[in-house]
A and B are shown apart, each in its own frame.
Chain A
Amino acid sequence: MQLIVNIVVLTSLYALVACGYVLIYRVSRVLNMAHGELMMLGAYALFATASGISGNPVIALLISAVLSMFIGLATYQVLMRRLTGSSVLAAVLTTIAIGILIRGMVVLIWSPQPQYPARLLGLENPSLAIFGDARISMLSAVLIGVTVLVYSGLFLFLRFGSWGIRLRAVGQNALLAAQRGINLHAVFAFAWGISTFTASTAGMLVAMDKGLDSTMVMIGLKAFPAALVGGLDSLFGAILGALIIAVIEVLLIQYVDPLLSDVVPFLVLIVMLTIRPWGFFGTREQLDRV
């Protein structure tokens, strides 16, 4: 029972992080290699607001959530936007550069020591008992709730919201979308903002649960196989991918060797690339047509 709870928690975590990869890839075909670092930066934003306003956790959380969305918007507006017209290669290389820059800045500003924003906010993280002897920490329960909320929000929004429809249109054919008067830069910036916001939300919850240091990047990295196994341009695929990676990881930690749990997701990724490179729910045509 405890295993199932662990799997569900980990699935939510990976799914919440993976949807950022999917959003940015879907609109611009860019693999955002700085996703893990942006997630960490968002979590440090919470740490910063928590040290500023320690009395009121709700306000601190809200401010840092808005801040994280702003970080994503700014990343696009200040850096990625200037690469419009150059190759996807240059864009992906730039995200690698952004990643290493954030890693450096975070250590310089907040030191390499682990930080505990939950303690600053005065938040308790009681362990709740659910079905029989299985236990779940309160923040993990919140994480599951947030993931469900974000995904249902995204599904509804992409289906019915006017910005959601624009986003899908740009993803299908950027040139035609621009011809119809859709502001491409606004849509790209929006995708970066949402992507960073969702990843940072995951980052903040993990930081409050387990503490915060630069190893958080590893979570972002492991969410990548999840996004790819499911299909890089499919949100539903991201959930399935997250589930697969989470099941493998939890079972390996429990029964084999914890060290392997960092390796096997990537082996799954290689197997997937070999047998079904576009993922379970990815679009085949766009990837395969040469």
Chain B
Amino acid sequence: MFKSLSTQSAALKAALWLCVIGLPFFATPAQIDIASQVWLAAIGAISLMLLTGYAGQISLGHSALLAAGAFSVGILTKEFSAPPWVCLILSPVIGALLGLLFGLPSLRLRGLYLAVSTLAMHVLVVYLGGEYETKRGYSTGIVVDPPSLLGFTVQTAVQWYFFLLFFAALAYLLVRNLTVGRAGRAWALLRTNETVASALGIRVDRYKLLAFVISSAMTSFAGGLFAYYRGFVSIEAFSIYLSIQYVAMIIVGGMGSLVGALLGCAFVTILPYVIEGSMAQLTFLSSQAGAIFAVNYAVFGILMIAFLIFEPQGLSGLIKRFLPKRSSD
């Protein structure tokens, strides 16, 4: 029976990989675009999962970190005409510095003060981004050319799909290796009980800061990729709602599960398209068409509350409960 379970899950895995790799060859361009967005969001969702799901800290600064990464790329390209590889190396460095700067004060305290200081970070980054845009005359946004790395330019939708898939997989592997190692055990303990963790000799503040800095660097890198993918950077794109979307991803996916982060980010990225599509179908709602964003807000709010109250393990918990049942018969 165990053998059948493992062959079954191996077959499932192979089928999933086949779907993931084969998708761009049969999907429409619009679908490839959405799938690429999922992979891009996956980097941010995985990094937030590391911070919230493993280390137990709340951040509302994801949108600011994405903005910081995107603006690093925009500014480095426009002001210093830096090549893409320099930009993509520097954007996580800037994210890590921001993480250090805003992580340090809040981690001296117990509790969820990171939520507060990341909120401050958001307000500051949005201000600075807006100032840069108006002062330099990019009030409609900064245009960024497609990146060329090692003489190869990423341009078509299919190229972008695999480019982003590569980095999402890299992020997944990085965080998985971190969480099964020494740091992962330390985070698990300090999330459960800080007092016990420090009594066992774990430097609680150091590990919290480590989680936040790594998470910030990854998110900022994703922001840099976002700038190249969109070909366009504007501070308008980085509202607090974006941060909440990332929080929704890890709640819907399930705390403390990397597969959950992927499921959640796919769900949250695709849902607005579904909502938009179904609202276009329902003609009696057409008077509300301008209020699609409000419907999104409400739906995300209800979803998050429902998962937090009824299924704190999220989609990954649902699947775990569903799969063993099927394999036992």
A residues near B, CB below 8 A? Answer: 29, 31, 33, 79, 82-83, 86-90, 92-94, 96-105, 107-108, 111-112, 221, 224-225, 228, 259-260, 262-263, 266-267, 269-270, 273-274, 277-278, 287-290
Which residue of chain A has the shortest Cβ distance to B198 in the bound complex? A290
Whether the Cβ atoms of A105 and B298 lie closer than 8 Å is: yes
Range for the number of chain B residues in contact with chain A: 35 or more
Expressed in whole angstroms, the minimum distance between the Cβ of B300 and any Cβ of chain A is 6
Are B244 and A278 touching (Cβ within 8 A)?
A: no
Cβ–Cβ contact B119 & A93, under 8 A: no
| Closest B residue to A30 using CB positions | B112
Q: List 12 A-B contacts (CB under 8 A).
A: A29-B111, A33-B60, A89-B56, A90-B312, A93-B308, A97-B304, A100-B244, A100-B300, A101-B305, A103-B297, A104-B293, A270-B102
Which one, A267, A277, A287, contacts B120 given CB within 8 A? A267
Contacts A108-B291, A290-B198 known; A221 to B119 CB distance under 8 Å? Answer: yes
Residues of chain A within 8 A of B106, CB atoms compared: 273, 277
Contact of B116 among A103, A267, A269 (CB under 8 A): A269
Check A273/B312 contact, CB under 8 A, given A101-B297, A104-B298, A104-B301: no
Instruction: Report chain A residues within 8 Å CB of B127.
Output: 259-260, 262-263
Q: Is A94 a contact partner of B112 (Cβ separation < 8 A)? A: no
Q: Which single residue of chain A is at the shortest CB-CB distance from B309?
A: A82
B173 neighbours in A (Cβ, 8 Å): none
* A-B interface, 3 closest residue pairs, ranked by CB to CB distance from nearest: A101-B301, A104-B297, A104-B298
Question: Knowing A98-B301, A263-B123 touch, does A270 contact B312 (C-beta < 8 A)?
Answer: no
Q: Are A108 and B108 neighbours in the complex by a CB distance under 8 Å? A: no
Q: A270, B115: Cβ atoms under 8 Å? A: no
Q: Name the residue on B nearest A97 (C-beta).
A: B304
CB-defined contacts of A98 to chain B, threshold 8 Å: 301, 305
Q: Name B87-132 residues within 8 Å CB distance of A.
A: 102, 104-106, 108-113, 115-117, 119-120, 123-124, 127, 130-131
Which residues of chain B are near A107, meaning CB under 8 Å?
291, 293-294, 297
**Shortest Cβ distance from B306 into A: residue:** A97
Instruction: Tell me the bound Cα distance from A134 to B244 in angstroms.
Output: 43
In the complex, which of the residues A88, A94, A101 contacts B298, with contact meaning CB atoms closer than 8 Å? A101
Interface centre among B58, B247, B302, B308 (most CB of A within 10 A): B308
What is the distance, in angstroms, from B134's C-beta to the closest C-beta of chain A? Answer: 9
Contact A262 B112, beta carbon cutoff 8 Å: no
Closest CB in chain B relative to A76 CB, distance in Å = 13
Q: Say whether A269 contacts B120, CB under 8 Å.
A: yes
Say yes or no: B247 contacts A224, CB within 8 Å.
Answer: no
